[in-house]
Structure 1
């Protein structure tokens, strides 16, 4: 990924996937992993703090949270607009994901949780486990949507389900998910943001 913004200005490409996955998880967050999500936001490099924006507010149940990605003192001209765009994309993908989530079997999530809890696995091994889980879900999924979009949503749904099952895995699951998307689906993400 280049270090320039998606369109030459604004957000750096490496932050786009962070924003997208975090936005997706914020929309789907529940009390199980809300606290871990807040900690994660504060840990991400160059990130500010949780801040409500417009109609979004931090709810006690964590159901709606605004963006937390502010580049302290370094907001480039288009980055704030691009952050909003990425949040809107995350919101749309999350709503589509609501209808898709029933295709993810609890036994698959339990197996993925067990694999992610294995501290001897490398990051590459965790990405492989995620890829296998994704392919398993894809086998049972109707083919009425573009494959890349389906894979992106299912990947983020798997992250959500793992975090919901075992909140202490949120941080590692987030990073594995972001790395997996960057390696396998970033061209699709970049096109979503550009279009």
Structure 2
């Protein structure tokens, strides 16, 4: 992948995963957590705006601000990458809607119980998500695009948990983003590169 997608003038990995998961959830049909998702979207935009501000303005020792100019074209690159991610999210949401029936309700209920356990660490939650994903992946043939199916199912599991218990949206969103960044980032980068090219 073009290195600009992961550093420098491009979008950062966490933001890419945030945008992808948020776009997926936003584009899935029939979700019962729209209000919670809108609030999460506002928080993500506010946080992104704050991060952009920190990257472009540096506080000088005398207390004044020094604006660092972004490389020419970097804003356009970021905008085209964002649009590519949104497009990928829409496509994966359509696939997810078709795969929705492959997630057993009992598996979703188990994940909900695990996410409700406040004693679990973020790593434990990722492990539970990974175990649920592996269980669902067993129903898919090995000749399909395995990483793309894993990515879609990971986000679909998040959607199902949030559908079941909307108050878990933020927790499952964070865990899903972290899981994607740790396990499926190459797949995401390849999808973005293919979409941008």
> Is TM more than 0.5 here?
yes
Tell me, yes or no, if structure 1 residue 176 matches structure 2 residue 172. Answer: no
CA displacement at 1:77 relative to structure 2: 2.4
Q: Establish whether residue 33 from structure 1 lines up as the match of residue 33 from structure 2.
A: yes
Q: CA RMSD in A?
A: 2.4
Unaligned runs of 5+ in 2: 57-73
Q: CA deviation at 1:155?
A: 0.2
Matched-pair contact (CA < 8 Å) for 1:17–1:182:
yes
User: Is this contact kept in 2: 1:24–1:90, CA < 8 A?
Assistant: yes
TM-score, normalization by structure 1:
0.80
State whether structure 2 residue 25 is matched by structure 1 residue 21.
Answer: no
Q: Is 2:28–2:94's contact at 8 Å kept on the other side of the alignment?
A: no
Higher RCO by CA contacts (8 Å cutoff, separation 6 or greater): 2
Q: Does the aligned pair in 2 maintain the 1:152–1:185 contact within 8 Å?
A: yes
SS in 2 for 1:87: helix
TM-score for both structures, normalised by structure 2: 0.79
Decide whether the 8 Å contact of 1:117 with 1:169 is kept in 2.
yes
Contact 2:96 2:156 in 1 (8 A): yes
Aligned to 1:6: 6
Deviation at 1:83, TM superposition (A): 1.0
Q: Which runs of 5+ in 1 are unaligned?
A: 49-69
Q: Deviations over 1:73-106 (max 9, x none)?
A: x782211111111010011111111221111000
Contact 1:24 1:156 in 2 (8 A): yes
